[in-house]
Amino acid sequence: MKAIKRIDTFKDLTDLASQSEELSLGDGSPPKGKDFYLYRGSNNYDHQLLSSIQVHLKVRKELADWEKRIEQYERNLVNRFLKEIEPYRELNHQYNWFCPPYPKTDSFWYLSVMQHFGCPTRLCDFTADFWTAVFFATEGAKEDMELGLYRLKCKNDDKFGNKLPKDSTGEPWFNGMGYDMNELLGYIIGYTGFTAPSKEIQERLKRFYAKTKMSQMYGWDTPYYKNPRIQKQRGFFVYSVDIRTPLEDSIVEHCGTEFQKYQISGKILSEISRQLETMGFIEWKVYLDLDRAFKKWKNEPLN
């Protein structure tokens, strides 16, 4: 990661927004071979970038050694999801999502659904929209604190871009039919159906954990489950290969990645908030949540 850059004035922020817009993805899916940016905002600059499962275990005081226990914890969560939740087809109608039948090999799909409904996973939420990330950075922020903003340059190319993780030779996971990130994640997590890898698979997995200048220890993709909220937030997921390593370190370690962290002064928080409201970035609209709208309305002064 390059040296951390400071954003001290509101003009600095709008200049960064204009510069970032040159590689804006827009509202569509990433076309092949096109560079674009993903962003993530944090209301505390000092927080390290972690996946949701890393955050969850790190804040649990009884799990001080979370790096040693996180693999089994993740495996248990995925297995319970497949055994106790996925078989109840009534959930398809209630939540409007569908999981394929056994053999259960759509690993990223399961993680995507679990993440969306609040289960901690190895996925980390990013957005393709600059101001959406800034909005999330302002949530719970205070003027005496520094805000954080991450920007990751992406290219939608399986082999020559950074969409898929790469092993120590620079190659993404290939299963004979094509590049298969789902199979890779399945064997890495080791949930039911992926518990007995062959010797060949074991050797290939070793190459994905052997870090070299050619390896890439992270990947990104769009959520498989896209409801109106995710579409509004223009959500993406970034994930690491080695779940024991903080996600930020997994990204930084890849020498070919353009990954920048910005430190935003809390002193311009009021200017940012006014800009976000002008642009329509109001909490209930971003979350598409009527409860939030009504909570705000009922507390406003009577005319």
The DSSP secondary structure of 66-113, one letter per residue, reads: HHHHHHHHHHHHHHHIIIIITT-THHHHHH----PPSS---HHHHHHH
Q: Which range of residues forms the domain containing residue 197?
A: 5-298
Query: What is the CB neighbour count within 10 angstroms for residue 63?
Result: 15
Task: Kindly state whether residue 54 falls inside one of the protein's structural domains.
Answer: yes
Residue for token pair 């920007």: 151
Burial code of 208-224, b = ≥16 C-beta within 10 A, e = fewer?
beebeebbbbbbbbbbb
Amino acid at 243: I
pLDDT for residue 227 is more than 70: yes
Task: Kindly state whether residue 288 falls inside one of the protein's structural domains.
Answer: yes
Task: Kindly state whether residue 303 falls inside one of the protein's structural domains.
Answer: no
- Across 3-7, 124-128, 293-297, the highest mean pLDDT is recorded for 124-128
- pLDDT tens, 18-46? 999 999 988 778 989 899 999 999 999 99
Indicate the pTM of the whole model: 0.92
pLDDT given at position 75:
96
95-99, 177-181, 228-232 — which is least confidently predicted?
95-99
pLDDT given at position 62:
53
- Beta bridge partners, 42, equal 148
Taking a C-beta distance cutoff of 8 angstroms, is the pair 49, 150 a contact?
Answer: yes
Task: Kindly state whether residue 140 falls inside one of the protein's structural domains.
Answer: yes
Dihedral sign computed on CA atoms, order 132, 136, 138, 139: positive
Task: Kindly state whether residue 46 falls inside one of the protein's structural domains.
Answer: yes
Task: Kindly state whether residue 264 falls inside one of the protein's structural domains.
Answer: yes
Locate all alpha helices (DSSP H) within 99-243, ordered by sequence.
107-116, 130-138, 181-189, 199-209, 228-233
79-83, 86-90, 127-131, 149-153 — which is least confidently predicted?
86-90
Taking a C-beta distance cutoff of 8 angstroms, is the pair 161, 155 a contact?
Answer: yes
**Which residues, 6+ apart, have CB-to-CB distance to 295 below 8 Å?**
none
For the chain, the domain total comes to 1
pLDDT given at position 117:
85
Task: Kindly state whether residue 72 falls inside one of the protein's structural domains.
Answer: yes
- pLDDT tens, 52-106? 999 999 877 555 677 788 999 999 999 998 888 877 767 766 666 555 554 568 8
